Amino acid sequence: MPASRSKPAASETPADASPRTRERRQRVQSAVTGMAVLKGLARLGGRASLTALAAHIDESPAKVHRYLVSLLEEGLVAQESGTQQYHLGYEALQIGMAAMRQADPIRLAEASLVRLRETLEVTCFVAVMGNKGPTIMRFEEPGLPVTVNVRAGSVMPLLWSATGRVFLGLLDETRVQAQAAEELAEASPARLASLDQDDPIGALRRAVQADDCAWVRDTNLTGISAVAAPVRDYTGRVCAVLTALGATGGFDPSIDGPVGAAVRHEARVVSAALGFNPGVAG
């Protein structure tokens, strides 16, 4: 008997090549390309020439122009008559503002805190700059937590905690500088000895700005070390700080160590979710 022929897979059936199916695929592909054009324009700062945009998304100018015409009609893109550059239109701005209204750094940091806790088994938290200083908003502990007297709602010092130093170094706000000066005036001789004697606050700020993060060893809590990194919003402003801490004996707070690298990575993840683009913001 002749061998029976197997039934062709669904993707090989004549129906799969019907005009309706092809049309559906073309619509999907068109939507993908249209989104690539919009995302490319956003990544170029929201404004670009046709040539620059086409090169950025690796498509021909003629093809990109066809999509720009459709996006212009929908109000997602606009064009300046003088320069002929394209920029994000009114409807795109409405979408962006709706997304920004939902951008909560505390909520967006939750997944990062869980990853830090589970992968590194460290205590970690996210803090914002409150009226009284850096305030812990969400706190995560591993199965074997480190005993510390800070929890959600605790206010951290600016000069002695890694969290506070990130805010001190990266926020140019009068109230931050005033609080730091108060802490300095109330510091014990032992704490003062750990700071630069000529310009204690300025030296701390410059160190944080150079590294874009901060670490401490036994300066805030005896036997506790910590490393912290900034979370930035779409404007580039520091809106929160991610921090990991542990017992000094078994915790490496260096910014290039495993914990420091992970904290900095997760801070970048949260910042990206808030719309921060290092090449555009600021």
pLDDT over 90 (residue 236): yes
* Greater model confidence, 93 or 1: 93
| pLDDT tens, position by position, 253-276 | 999 999 999 999 999 999 999 988
| Lowest mean per-residue pLDDT among 60-69, 142-151, 189-198 | 142-151
pLDDT over 50 (residue 3): no
pLDDT for position 277:
84
Residue 7: band (very low, low, confident or very high) from pLDDT cuts 50, 70, 90: very low
Give the chain's domains with CATH numbers. 14-100 (1.10.10.10), 103-273 (3.30.450.40)
pLDDT for position 1:
45
| pLDDT tens, position by position, 83-108 | 999 999 888 888 777 766 666 899 99
Contacts 24+ apart (CB under 8 A), 169-174: 169/204, 169/205, 169/206, 169/207, 169/208, 169/209, 169/214, 170/208, 170/209, 170/212, 170/230, 170/238, 171/129, 171/237, 171/238, 173/129
Could you write out the DSSP letters of every residue in 130-159? Answer: ETTEEEEEEEE--SS----S--TTPBPPTT
The pTM of this model reads: 0.69
pLDDT for position 5:
45
Stretch 32-54: mean pLDDT: 90
| pLDDT tens, position by position, 163-222 | 999 999 999 889 999 999 999 999 999 899 999 999 999 999 999 999 999 999 988 888
Tell me the average pLDDT of the chain: 87
